[in-house]
């Protein structure tokens, strides 16, 4: 082993967030669909770490990741809920098509924080190939997702409110703001 030992992974937060030629998002997966484990990238150590474990019977309903080179109001990269056929793995880069945004707010005591999640569909998939915009998602899908977030935040002693689901133009504005903040 020479002097150039690589300590940890390359920092995925430094990847390009969007393939400009195709307008495709580059989503870095943190927590896969079906997992009770909540993972997050630790940029200081350059590894994915286990943040928490959900209670028995509660799992992440879809893959969750982030959009590199962005900063959301909570100080982390902007969250992405990714629809794809099979769960990915923490650290995998998935090219995805933006379809909208779930606008949400978490409340802890008197403190309110926006906690929006971009909605995207993996470029390589079969199940969600016909989903082109947030309006294409069934109402039950959104209701179940809201229930997941309500219960997930309740475990942390926070309240979660779904503020609405918006289409691509609003999601694109959110990305632009998050890129400027990065």
Question: What are the DSSP calls for the chain, one per residue?
Answer: --S----S---GGGS-SEETTTTEEEEEEEE-TT-SEEEEEETTTTEEEEEEEPPTT---SSEEEEETT---TTSSPEEEEEE-SS---TT-EEEEEEEEEEEEEEEETTEEEE--EEEEEESS-STTTT--SGGGS-HHHHHHHHHHHHHHHHTTT-EEEEEEEE-HHHHHHHHHHHHHH-
pLDDT at 5: 55
Q: Over the stretch 87-124, which tens digit does the pLDDT of each residue have?
A: 999 999 999 999 999 999 988 888 898 999 999 999 99
User: Would you say residue 84 has pLDDT above 60?
Assistant: yes
User: Would you say residue 1 has pLDDT above 50?
Assistant: no
Going by pLDDT thresholds of 50, 70 and 90, the confidence category of residue 8 is low
Going by pLDDT thresholds of 50, 70 and 90, the confidence category of residue 6 is low
Structural domains for the chain: 14-173 (3.90.80.10)
Q: Which of 64-68, 73-77, 88-92 has the lowest mean pLDDT?
A: 73-77
Q: Over the stretch 35-64, which tens digit does the pLDDT of each residue have?
A: 999 999 998 888 999 999 999 999 999 999
């Amino acid at each position: 082993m020479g002097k150039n030992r690589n300590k940890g992974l390359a920092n995925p937060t430094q990847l390009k967030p969007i393939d400009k030629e195709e307008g495709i998002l580059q989503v870095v997966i943190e927590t896969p669909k079906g997992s009770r484990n909540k993972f997050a990238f630790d940029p200081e150590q350059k590894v994915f770490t286990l943040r928490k474990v959900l209670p028995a019977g509660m799992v992440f309903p879809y893959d969750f990741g982030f959009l590199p080179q962005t900063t959301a109001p909570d100080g982390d990269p902007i969250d992405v809920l990714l629809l794809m056929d099979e769960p990915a793995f923490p650290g995998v880069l998935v090219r995805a098509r933006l379809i909208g945004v779930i606008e949400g707010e978490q409340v802890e005591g008197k403190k309110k924080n926006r906690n929006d999640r971009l909605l995207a569909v993996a470029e390589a998939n079969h199940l969600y190939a016909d989903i082109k915009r947030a309006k294409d998602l069934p109402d039950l899908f959104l209701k179940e997702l809201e229930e997941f977030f309500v219960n997930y935040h309740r475990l942390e002693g926070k309240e979660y409110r779904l503020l609405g689901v918006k289409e691509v133009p609003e999601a694109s504005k959110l990305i632009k703001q998050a890129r400027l903040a990065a």
